[in-house]
Amino acid sequence: MTTLKIAITIAGSDSSGGAGIQADIKTFQAHGVYAASAITAVTVQNTQKVYDIQEIRPNIVAGQIQCLFDDMDIHAVKIGMVSSIVLIETIADTLSANSLPPVVLDPVMISKSGYALLKEDARKALIQSLFPLADVVTPNLFEAKVLVQRDIQTLEDMKDAAKIIRDLGAKKVVVKGGHLAGEKAVDILYDGVTFQELSSERFHTPHTHGTGCTFSSAIAANLALGKSFFEAVTLAK
């Protein structure tokens, strides 16, 4: 008898439905994984712009997470937008109190339109509190640059960044290269021992809202289904 796999997304709500909690739930369901959620913030946004953000109270965020662990067998956790130190520490404390399945952390920092989604003083807390809990961290080039404090222009730069990010506490790293110049979109996967370059044809489209959320939640869904790290990322790509 097949057991239904369950994954939690811990992230912000996107009123346009293209990113955040909404994108994660759609992605989990597309993979045949039951979607549960803990909402960290309500955003006022459409596919073009983020207008405003209202954080959810930390005790409510913690309660959403804990009640799910109390009731369900959780097979994966995806963490997306967490904008403040108090929310980051609350989520870390709540998760640490439970036996954790694979955790995928998408270190969301800024929206496509330039709206800051992670407060500047919260970056250190993100690294110190959530990286050690993460089985996979999935920064894009901008986020990787912020994390490693250096420019990234080549695939070798991406590999160096992946090493540094793993040294910050993450077990495995996917540096997304979609914003790097070239005919193909190349991501760098690193598990602490082996690098893998994962390339695909570049899609020339303006409809990129929520692609990072969808990618990281697809990785989480595949991990919930028992796939290995490299297999989960390859299928997500």
Q: Looking at the annotation, which residues are catalytic?
A: 176, 208, 210-213
Q: Where are the beta strands (DSSP E) in 56-209?
A: 76-79, 103-105, 136-137, 172-175, 184-190, 195-201
With beta carbons less than 8 A apart as the criterion, state whether 123 and 117 touch.
no
* 74 class by beta-carbon count within 10 Å (0-12 exposed, 13-18 middle, 19+ buried): buried
The token pair at 18 is 């293209």
> Identity (one letter) of the amino acid at 78?
K
**Angstrom distance (rounded) from CA 8 to CA 59:** 17
Give the dihedral sign, CA 6/7/10/14.
Answer: negative
Tokens 């939640």: give the residue.
Answer: 217
String of DSSP letters for 86-105: HHHHHHHHHHHTS----EEE
Q: 3-class SS at 140?
A: strand
Distance CA 66, CA 10 (A): 12
Helix or strand run (H / E) with residue 6: strand 6-14
SS3 state of residue 204: coil
Take residue 226 and report the two structure tokens written for it: 């028992």
